[in-house]
């Protein structure tokens, strides 16, 4: 079984910074893509940023220039550095891992979510 454990959420004032981390553990062959999504009450979960195994990245327009995603392949960890935070960034942030399991079947796993609250 694969687990994703997130850390780093919290409360911050507008203009501040937070760094989210997510570590994948368990048995699997390889991780293709890791990333972050976020969700607010009554809305669908939306993409924040993803990073592929070759380090190519993708960002939502709303976070470009403010957020930076990175990964440590040796530790199966992904980070999200969030700068210039805005109240609109308030959400539960979920870590995603798209991976190949030991049967080489592609699977997607989600973390439990971490709350980010930005006060104005």
Determine contact, residues 95/36, Cβ cutoff 8 Å.
yes
What per-residue confidence (pLDDT) applies to 118?
A: 98
What per-residue confidence (pLDDT) applies to 33?
A: 97
Instruction: Compute the distance between CA of residue 103 and CA of residue 83 in angstroms, rounded to an integer.
Output: 39
- Residue 40 sits at the vertex; the CA angle it makes with 25 and 95, to the nearest 5 degrees, is 15
Tens digit of pLDDT per residue, the chain (120 long)?
899 999 999 999 999 999 999 999 999 999 999 999 999 999 999 999 999 998 899 999 999 999 999 999 888 999 999 999 999 999 999 999 999 999 999 999 999 999 999 999
Structure tokens at 92: 């539960």
What per-residue confidence (pLDDT) applies to 54?
A: 86
Instruction: Compute the distance between CA of residue 62 and CA of residue 54 in angstroms, rounded to an integer.
Output: 24
What per-residue confidence (pLDDT) applies to 22?
A: 98
Q: Residue 82's closest CA among 41, 114, 42?
A: 114
């Amino acid at each position: 079984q694969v687990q994703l454990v997130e850390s780093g959420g919290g409360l911050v004032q507008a203009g501040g910074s937070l760094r989210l981390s997510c570590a994948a553990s368990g048995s699997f062959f390889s991780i293709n893509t890791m990333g972050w999504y976020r969700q607010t009450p009554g809305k669908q979960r939306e993409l924040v940023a993803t990073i592929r195994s070759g380090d190519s990245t993708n960002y939502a327009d709303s976070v470009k220039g403010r957020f930076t995603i990175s990964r440590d392949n040796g530790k199966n960890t992904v980070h999200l550095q969030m700068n210039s935070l805005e109240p609109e960034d308030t959400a539960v942030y979920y870590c995603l891992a798209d991976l190949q399991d030991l049967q080489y079947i592609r699977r997607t796993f989600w973390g439990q979510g971490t709350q980010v609250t930005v006060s104005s």
